[in-house]
Amino acid sequence: MKLGTTIISSIEFTKRISLVIFMAECPLRCPFCHNGELIETGEEISSSEVFKIIDDNKDFVDAVVVSGGEPLSNSDDLKRILDYSKSLSLETKLDTSGVYPDRLKGVVNSIDYIAIDVKAPFDKYEKLTGTDISENVKKSIEIANNSENTYLECRTTYVPSLLSPKDIEEIAKNISCDEYTIQQFRNQNVFDNSLKNVENPNPNELKQIAKDIKKYFKVVKVKTAEFGCEFV
Ligand code: SF4
C-alpha cells in the first residue's frame, strides 16, 4: 500500500485521541481537495510496517483513524489495519468518499465510526467532483446505516463558489446519518488552482447554515480553522 503520513489527533474521532493514518491514492480529483500531494504520490509500505507504527502508538491513543486519499483504494490492506487495531482493543474509524460501496461492505464490520463525504446534492455530483458517483455514495450510506455497531457521520466541505445554503439543505433532506458536519473550505493548497481566489467561508455563515438544517439531524457540527470542531 502507499502511505501519506501519520499524525496524532484529538479532533478526528470525537472524544478520543487517535492515530490518524493517511493512505495515498484516490480515484477522484475533487477541485477543492487539500490532499493533492497524497492522491498522486505516497511511500510504498508493507502492512507489518503499519502494524509497527500502531504498536509504537497504542499506549497513547484510544483509536486508529484511516483517512486519505481514499483508503478503500486498497481495501485488503485497509481491512488488515482495521482488524489489527481491533485486536489491540483500539476503536476504528474510516474516512471515505463513498466511491466503493462493494469494498465498504467487506470492511464495515471492522469499523466503529465511519465518516462519508457527501460532496454535493446528488444531482450535482458531476459538477463538484468531475464524476457522478452519487449512486455509490447513496449505497455506502445505506451500508453504514445498516451496520448495527457503526456510527455514521456524513460531511460536506462548503466551497462558496460551488455550493449554496440551498444545496446544503438539499443534501440534508436526502441523507440519513447519526451526525452531519459542515467543513470550512480552505483556499490554501487546493487541487484546482482557480479556487485559490475563492474566499474561505466565514465561520458565522457556516454556523447559520448549520442552524437552518439542524432539524434534519440529531447532531450537527461545524469544523473551521478558526474554532475547530463546534456542535451547533
Ligand atoms: S477530496 Fe477526498 S475524494 Fe476528493 S480527491 Fe481529495 S482525497 Fe479524493
pLDDT, tens digit, 9 for 90 and up, residues 123-149: 999 988 889 999 999 999 999 999 999
Which pLDDT value is given to residue 39?
80
Q: How confident is the model at residue 65 (pLDDT cuts 50, 70, 90)?
A: very high
Tally Cβ neighbours within 10 Å of residue 124: 17
Going from the Cα of 33 to the center of ligand 1, the distance in angstroms, rounded, reads: 5
Tell me the whole-structure pTM to 2 decimals.
Answer: 0.95
Going from the Cα of 127 to the center of ligand 1, the distance in angstroms, rounded, reads: 14
Which pLDDT value is given to residue 150?
97
Mutate to test the pocket of ligand 1, among 25, 28, 140 (most ligand atoms within 8 A of CB): 28
Tally Cβ neighbours within 10 Å of residue 68: 25
Q: Is 33 in the pocket of ligand 1 (CB under 6 A)?
A: yes
pLDDT, tens digit, 9 for 90 and up, residues 146-203: 999 999 999 999 999 999 999 999 999 999 999 999 999 999 889 888 999 999 999 9
Q: What residues does each domain of the chain span?
A: 2-231
Q: How confident is the model at residue 38 (pLDDT cuts 50, 70, 90)?
A: confident
Q: Is 69 in the pocket of ligand 1 (CB under 6 A)?
A: yes
Distance, in Å, from the CA atom of 24 to the CA atom of 12, rounded to the nearest integer, reads 18
- Mean pLDDT, residues 44-53: 95
Q: Are 4 and 22 in contact (CB under 8 A)?
A: yes
Which pLDDT value is given to residue 44?
92
Which CATH architecture group holds 2-231? Alpha-Beta Barrel (3.20)
Q: Are 156 and 199 in contact (CB under 8 A)?
A: no
Q: Is 115 in the pocket of ligand 1 (CB under 6 A)?
A: no
Q: Is 97 in the pocket of ligand 1 (CB under 6 A)?
A: yes
Which pLDDT value is given to residue 166?
98
Q: How confident is the model at residue 35 (pLDDT cuts 50, 70, 90)?
A: confident
Of 91, 67, 71, 70, nearest to 79 (Cα)? Answer: 71
Which pLDDT value is given to residue 37?
78
Which pLDDT value is given to residue 221?
97
Distance, in Å, from the CA atom of 3 to the CA atom of 77, rounded to the nearest integer, reads 11
pLDDT, tens digit, 9 for 90 and up, residues 71-130: 999 999 999 999 999 999 999 999 999 999 999 999 999 999 999 999 999 999 998 888
Going from the Cα of 231 to the center of ligand 1, the distance in angstroms, rounded, reads: 25
| Residue located nearest, by CA, to atom 6 of ligand 1 | 33
Q: Is the pLDDT of residue 34 over 90?
A: no
> Is the four-CA dihedral 14, 133, 37, 90 of positive or negative sign?
positive
Q: Is 35 in the pocket of ligand 1 (CB under 6 A)?
A: yes
Q: What is the dihedral of CA 81, 66, 167, 101, to 10 degrees?
A: -10
Q: Which atom of ligand 1 is nearest to the CA of 29?
A: 5
Largest CA distance in the chain: 47
The grid cell for 20 is 490518524
The grid cell for 80 is 488488515
Phi, then psi, of 102 in degrees rounded to 5:
-65, -40
Of 157, 148, 211, 154, nearest to 178 (Cα)? Answer: 154
